[in-house]
Chains A and B, each alone.
Chain A
Amino acid sequence: MRLKRILLDRRICRFVLVFYFFVALLPSTGEASLMESRLSTGEQMSERAEKIESVRKALEHRVVAQRLADYGLSQEEVMARMNSLDDKQLHQLASLSDEIGGGSSGLVIGVLLIVLLVVLILMVSDKRIVIQ
């Protein structure tokens, strides 16, 4: 009798209802499947986690060495610099290598300079540009 009274108590019923309302609002944890990224060999990312680290180091090494060569360093200088870099520095340099030298803003400045020079030379040589 006492138990029945407790179970049918209005406050308890209200609490249980509110509790279930919020539980029902929780999203389900089950969901559709997303296939992982794959290497060029067709292997999935998680399948080759250990191998991927060494692949990254080797590729970053090549990227940084190429950039140093692009900026005019000789083969010996490139080798010397590369040997002095640790993994962290190599990763930082590889991730910044496309921004070095101004990136897209450098290209815009270069194009503007060339256009300015062409216009100046044309002006000096009494030539005109006419757009019809």
Chain B
Amino acid sequence: MKRFFLILLFLCVALTACSIPRIVVLSDPLTAKEHNDLGVSYELMGEKELALKQYELAFKKDRNWDQPLINQGNVHAGMESWNLAEQSYRNALKRNSHNPEAMNNLAYVLIKQDKNREALNWSKKAVEIEPENPFFLNTYGWALLKTDSLDKAKETFLSALENSQEGSDLQEKIRQALVELEPQ
């Protein structure tokens, strides 16, 4: 009986040998940095799903590097998936708790979700690390505005305006924020 089964098994394997799926070992030719750069190029092309896949490969390949997680958060934010973006920035901050860009971008998505108190904390931390960065100051200003600290918000926007490049989009945004503050 045992011999019969063995012969049967052998015959089955022999007869189906050609149709047995081949095992192919796929090797990854790119480093974490290269996956990240490929992700940036896809993001620039507007291929968001491909960008997300490359960022994922990058942060899985280098488990200490935070930049691919920030970039992944940016793609999610671009798709208005605020929860996913928030998670990506939080993961980035777990890897590098002193990254002001992750803090600023986390504050941005928190403002979008009306979690203004927490946004205020993160944007304040970002400004403490880089007090002259006009982008961080702008986000901090908005967090202050949303939490009704109007005088402090105006002061922060003026400081952002002072540090921003003349004629830039950011300067225009800050001016709009100041206009918004005026009637109040």
Q: Which A residues fall within an 8 A CB radius of B? A: 28-40, 45, 49, 52-53, 55-56, 59-60, 62-63, 65-67, 70-72, 95, 98, 101-102, 106, 109-110, 113, 120-121, 123-126
A45 with B25: CB separation less than 8 A: no
B104 with A35: CB separation less than 8 A: yes
Contacts of B29 in A (CB 8 A): 62-63, 65-66
Expressed in whole angstroms, the Cα–Cα distance for A29 and B135 within the complex equals 16
B interface, by DSSP: helix, strand, loop or mixed?
helix
Expressed in whole angstroms, the Cα–Cα distance for A31 and B104 within the complex equals 13
Q: Which residue of B lies closest to A70 (CB)?
A: B26
Contacts of A34 in B (CB 8 A): 74, 77, 104-105, 108
Contacts of B26 in A (CB 8 A): 67, 70, 98, 101
Q: Which residue of A lies closest to B101 (CB)?
A: A35
Besides the contacts A38-B101, A52-B44, what 14 more A-B pairs have beta carbons closer than 8 Å? A28-B176, A28-B177, A31-B111, A31-B142, A32-B107, A33-B104, A36-B74, A40-B67, A53-B41, A60-B38, A63-B30, A66-B29, A71-B24, A109-B21
Expressed in whole angstroms, the Cα–Cα distance for A36 and B27 within the complex equals 31
Q: Which residue of B lies closest to A125 (CB)?
A: B2
A98 with B71: CB separation less than 8 A: no
Expressed in whole angstroms, the Cα–Cα distance for A95 and B17 within the complex equals 31
Contacts of A109 in B (CB 8 A): 21
B5 with A31: CB separation less than 8 A: no
Cβ of B143 under 8 Å from chain A: yes
B74 with A30: CB separation less than 8 A: no
B67 with A95: CB separation less than 8 A: no
A32 with B24: CB separation less than 8 A: no
Contacts of A38 in B (CB 8 A): 40, 67, 70-71, 101
Can you give 9 A-B contacts (C-beta < 8 A)?
A: A34-B105, A35-B74, A38-B70, A39-B37, A52-B44, A56-B45, A66-B29, A95-B50, A101-B26
Contacts of A124 in B (CB 8 A): 2, 5-6, 9
Expressed in whole angstroms, the Cα–Cα distance for A35 and B71 within the complex equals 9
